[in-house]
A and B are shown apart, each in its own frame.
Chain A
Amino acid sequence: GNSVTQMEGPVTLSEEAFLTINCTYTATGYPSLFWYVQYPGEGLQLLLKATKADDKGSNKGFEATYRKETTSFHLEKGSVQVSDSAVYFCALSDQWGSQGNLIFGKGTKLSVKP
Chain B
Amino acid sequence: DTEVTQTPKHLVMGMTNKKSLKCEQHMGHRAMYWYKQKAKKPPELMFVYSYEKLSINESVPSRFSPECPNSSLLNLHLHALQPEDSALYLCASSQDGSGQETQYFGPGTRLLVL
Does B86 have its Cβ within 8 Å of any Cβ on chain A? no
Across-interface contacts of B31 in A (CB, < 8 A)? 99-100
Contact with B along A73-112 (1 / 0, CB 8 A): 0000000000000000100011111111110111101000
Q: Is the CB of A45 within 8 A of B101?
A: no
* Residue tally, chain B, CB below 8 Å to A: 29
Per the bound structure, the CA–CA distance linking A106 and B103 in Å amounts to 18
Q: Is the CB of B102 within 8 A of A98?
A: no
Across-interface contacts of B45 in A (CB, < 8 A)? 100, 102
From B11-19, B75-83, B104-112, the one touching the partner chain is B104-112
Q: Is the CB of B100 within 8 A of A51?
A: yes
Q: Which of B6, B33, B106 makes the CB contact (< 8 A) with A100?
A: B33
Query: For the side of the interface on A, what is the size category?
Result: 20 to 34
Q: Is the CB of A99 within 8 A of B55?
A: yes
Q: Is the CB of A34 within 8 A of B99?
A: no
Within 8 A of A (CB), among B1-53: 2, 6, 31, 33, 40-43, 45, 48, 50
Does B97 have its Cβ within 8 Å of any Cβ on chain A? yes
Per the bound structure, the CA–CA distance linking A15 and B110 in Å amounts to 31
Q: Is the CB of B102 within 8 A of A106?
A: no
Across-interface contacts of A97 in B (CB, < 8 A)? 99
Shortest CB-to-CB span from B36 to chain A, Å, is 13
Q: Is the CB of B105 within 8 A of A43?
A: yes
Q: Which of B40, B98, B102 makes the CB contact (< 8 A) with A34?
A: B102
Does A17 have its Cβ within 8 Å of any Cβ on chain B? no
Chain B residues in contact with chain A, CB under 8 A? Answer: 2, 6, 31, 33, 40-43, 45, 48, 50, 55-56, 88, 90, 92, 97-108, 110
Chain A residues in contact with chain B, CB under 8 A? Answer: 29, 31-32, 34, 36, 41-46, 49, 51, 89, 93-102, 104-107, 109
14 A-B contacts (beta carbon < 8 Å): A42-B107, A44-B43, A46-B102, A93-B99, A93-B103, A94-B100, A95-B98, A99-B97, A100-B31, A100-B45, A100-B55, A105-B42, A107-B41, A109-B40
